């Protein structure tokens, strides 16, 4: 099986790049952040507190996450309902970062991610893929960009989605999420020594995807 692991902070362009790499190689793309977002959406709908592990743990058996379609038309499903757009709303980003601190949520999702990686050629992107989900993956990358660039990318995405939001707010929320995701106690975002670091601040997604593919080809 080919497993390509890509980690990095919010807005680094991981999902765009991972999708492109998957398309160019003709393999599957698994958006692990979407899985945390689905849990956060479900917990929000149930009125749960993202810090309350006892309460959240009880909800997990009711959450079934699946994906349908491919490429740009790929959909994320929560118990069969298409929630692709709802999980991208700004308030869900914060809720996903909060819920991802809980051991029960990570264990619930990591086991599903490992099962997918064991049975298919896949590009996975997230925060703990290189360090925790697939520490033995053959191809590991850490994708980052300056805070300014990441905030601008996220801001444009939210505007295109019709969300009315201030750039400075997006930037400060990105900084908060960086802190949340890197400083949490369980499986934080880290740059592992065996990952290739790519700073995409001045690169297009195509260029980053081609860099990743050429590194993979060089290693083969
Ligand atoms: O990549 P994203 O912004 O869609 O991820 C949403 C949140 O989910 C992120 O703030 C942290 C969490 N996450 C995680 O803890 N581990 C992953 N492998 C992927 C995402």
> Is pLDDT above 90 for 71?
no
CA of 164 to the centre of ligand 1 (A): 23
CATH fold label, 3-219? Rossmann fold (3.40.50)
Domains of the chain: which residue ranges?
3-219
- What is the phi/psi pair of residue 154, to 5°? -65, -40
Give nearest CA residue, ligand 1 atom 4.
Answer: 33
Q: Which of 132, 150, 122 is nearest to 187 (CA)?
A: 132
Percent of the chain with pLDDT over 90: 95
Q: Say yes or no: CB of residue 101 within 6 Å of ligand 1.
A: no
Judge if the beta carbon of residue 127 lies within 6 A of ligand 1: yes
Q: Could you read off the pLDDT of 31-53 as tens digits, one per residue?
A: 999 999 999 999 999 999 999 99
Residue 124's Cα: distance from chain center in Å? 8
Protein residue closest via CA to atom 16 of ligand 1: 127
130 phi/psi in degrees, rounded to 5: -70, -30
Tens-digit pLDDT profile for residues 158-185: 999 999 999 999 999 999 999 999 999 9
Residue 177 C-alpha to ligand 1 middle, in angstroms?
9
Query: How many A from CA of 127 to the centre of ligand 1?
Result: 6
Bridge partners of residue 139, in order along the sequence: 4
Q: Provide the mean pLDDT of the chain.
A: 96
Regarding the beta carbon of 113 and ligand 1, being less than 6 Å apart is answered no
Q: Are 30 and 122 in contact (CB under 8 A)?
A: yes
For residues 136 and 83, give the distance between their C-alpha atoms in angstroms, rounded to a whole number: 32
Terminal Cα distance for the chain, rounded? 13
Q: Look at the pTM and tell me if it is higher than 0.85.
A: yes
Residue 67: count other Cβ atoms within 10 Å of its Cβ: 17
């Amino acid at each position: 099986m080919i497993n390509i692991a890509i980690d990095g902070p919010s807005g680094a362009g991981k999902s765009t790049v991972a999708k492109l790499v998957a398309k160019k190689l003709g393999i599957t793309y698994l958006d692990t952040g979407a899985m945390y977002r689905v849990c956060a959406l479900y917990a929000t709908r149930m009125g749960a507190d993202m810090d309350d592990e006892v309460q959240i743990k009880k909800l997990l058996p009711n959450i079934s996450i699946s994906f349908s379609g491919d490429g740009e038309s790929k959909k994320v499903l929560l118990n069969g309902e298409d929630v692709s757009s709802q999980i991208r709303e700004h308030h869900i980003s914060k809720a996903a970062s909060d819920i991802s601190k809980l051991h029960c949520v990570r264990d619930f999702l990591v086991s599903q991610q490992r099962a997918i990686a064991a049975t298919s050629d896949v590009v996975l992107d997230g925060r703990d893929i290189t360090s925790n989900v697939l520490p033995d993956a053959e191809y590991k990358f850490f994708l980052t960009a300056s805070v300014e660039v990441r905030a601008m990318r996220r801001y444009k995405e939210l505007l295109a989605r019709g969300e009315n939001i201030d750039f400075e707010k997006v930037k400060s929320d990105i900084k908060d999420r960086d802190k949340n995701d890197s400083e949490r106690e369980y499986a934080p975002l880290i740059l592992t020594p065996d990952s290739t670091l790519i700073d995409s601040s001045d690169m297009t997604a195509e260029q980053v995807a081609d860099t990743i593919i050429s590194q993979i080809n060089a290693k083969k």
